[in-house]
């Protein structure tokens, strides 16, 4: 089982050329579940499903920009809005599906938290709400939260979430000591952003459960982390691809 999370940077920059790189990556890496952030165009959301041959996708057409694509049967799904930040005008939410993976039933959650570095209080509230949703929907069954948390793993809000919810940071577990920056100023779109931010690992994969779906993680690594033809990067973030044994 392969899982991808990627912030797609809306339809900014040379977005059609960028999406050719993203789609090529989907064909190369073959994620069974793909969680995207910053997809706002309903027609394009459907076109991604067609071009990448995902039989099922979830795009509630809300202001959150969240989308989930699945090669597995979707058994249940939902979305919940999160508390807004007083520092931004952006709809935050958590989107989730329960799928029938080869090893069993899996709950898969996708989110995108408030972005300003100084807005940890808003992210803490949003993570509290996400934890309540995950507890209600998934309990202690195998579940994965992915997305752009806009905070580092050692931030107070993310550290609280992991400890309170009993989650494991998969990248840190499988790559001890590696920085794994997903917002990296080597990327021209990140480095050229008008809001200057340091290199950080903010796109994360947090797992919980001891069932068959998550018992044997094989890899968690950066993808979409190199420049393409014509000086085009796939997006302003690097993606994270995780792989688990199906047995």
Average pLDDT score over residue span 17-36: 98
Question: Please, are residues 111 and 83 in contact by the beta-carbon 8 Å criterion?
Answer: no
Average pLDDT score over residue span 8-22: 97
- Digit-coded pLDDT (tens) for 104-141: 999 999 999 999 999 999 999 999 999 999 999 999 89
When computed from its CA atoms, the radius of gyration of the chain, rounded to whole angstroms, is: 17
pLDDT confidence tier of residue 240, bands split at 50, 70 and 90: very high
Q: Domains along the chain?
A: 2-244 (3.60.10.10)
pLDDT confidence tier of residue 65, bands split at 50, 70 and 90: very high
Average pLDDT score over residue span 65-79: 98
First-to-last C-alpha distance (Å) of the chain: 10
- Digit-coded pLDDT (tens) for 78-98: 999 999 999 999 999 999 999
Question: How far apart are the C-alpha atoms of 178 and 71, rounded to whole Å?
Answer: 30
Q: Which residue has the tokens 């997305």?
A: 147
Question: Please, are residues 187 and 233 in contact by the beta-carbon 8 Å criterion?
Answer: yes
Whether residue 64 is predicted with pLDDT greater than 90 in this model: the reply is yes
Residue 225 is predicted with a pLDDT of 98
What percentage of the chain has pLDDT greater than the value 70? 100
Which of 70, 107, 112 has its CA nearest to residue 94?
Answer: 112
- Digit-coded pLDDT (tens) for 201-219: 999 999 999 899 999 999 9
Cα 44–chain centre separation = 18
Residue 61 is predicted with a pLDDT of 81
């Amino acid at each position: 089982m392969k899982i991808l999370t990627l912030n797609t940077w809306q339809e900014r920059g040379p977005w059609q050329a960028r999406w050719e790189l993203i789609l090529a990556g989907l064909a190369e890496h073959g994620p069974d579940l793909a969680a995207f952030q910053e997809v706002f165009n309903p027609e394009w959301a459907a076109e991604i499903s067609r071009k990448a041959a995902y039989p099922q996708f979830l795009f509630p057409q809300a202001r959150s920009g969240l989308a989930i694509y699945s090669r597995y049967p979707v058994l249940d799904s939902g979305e919940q809005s999160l508390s807004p930040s007083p520092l931004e005008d952006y709809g935050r939410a958590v989107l989730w599906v329960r799928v029938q993976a080869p090893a069993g039933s899996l709950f898969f959650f996708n989110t995108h938290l408030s972005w300003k570095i100084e807005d940890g209080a808003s992210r803490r509230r949003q993570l509290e709400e996400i934890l309540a949703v995950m507890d209600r929907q998934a309990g202690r069954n195998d579940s994965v939260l992915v997305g752009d948390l806009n905070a580092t793993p050692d931030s107070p809000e993310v550290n609280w979430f992991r400890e309170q919810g009993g989650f494991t940071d998969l990248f840190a577990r499988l790559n001890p000591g590696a920085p794994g920056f997903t917002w990296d100023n080597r990327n021209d779109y990140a480095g050229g952003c008008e809001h200057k931010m340091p290199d950080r690992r903010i796109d994360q994969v947090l797992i919980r459960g001891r069932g068959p779906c998550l018992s044997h993680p094989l890899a968690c690594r950066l993808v979409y982390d190199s420049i393409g033809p014509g000086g085009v990067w796939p997006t302003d973030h690097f993606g994270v691809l995780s792989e688990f044994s199906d047995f």
